[in-house]
Every structure is written in C-alpha cells, then in structure tokens.
Copies of this chain bind each other. A is one copy, B any other.
Amino acid sequence: MKVRILVSFKDSVLDPQGQTVKNALLTLGYGFVRDVRQGKVFELDLEGVSEDEARRLVPEIASKVLANPIIETFVWDILA
C-alpha cells in the first residue's frame, strides 16, 4: 500500500523558504503570486498493511518521525 503524507508549517509559523520562493517569483515577473508556503511530502510504500492498520500507523509515524507537532501539521491519504 502506498500512502502520501504532506507536512507543512502551521499557519502561525513563519516560512522563510516559502518567502524566498515568493520573492524569487515576484522578481521574475510573476506578480500575481500572493503567497507561497513550502513543505515536505513523503511517499511510503508499506508491505502487508491493511487499510485499518494504516489508519492507525501512518498518523503515528507522521507525528513521531516525519513532522514536528509543535510547529508542523500533516495530512495524509492512501494512494493505492
């Protein structure tokens, strides 16, 4: 089973990478870009895991290993 986890900063946390990308885009003439937020994506290939088990294990993995719950949030879904 493949799952995808998106990890991004909480809205209240500054995102300097996103700001840098936004400024680059404005400099390049893409003036319609109002905001950019950058985050991480993880695609995990899980072996012999049922959908029910994934619903328990993936949030555990995401909050323990992939994201820092103090400053980041995550969303995830099953790809296949």
Contact = CB atoms under 8 A, between A and B. Distances in A.
Contact of A37 (B24, B37, B42, B49): B42
A14 interface: no
A21 B18 CA distance: 23
A78 to B, nearest CB: 14
B41 A41 contact: yes
Contacts of A37: 42-43
Contacts of A45: 33-36
B44 A35 contact: yes
A41 to B, nearest CB: 5
Interface of A: 6, 8, 18, 21, 24-25, 28, 30, 32-49, 57, 61, 64-66
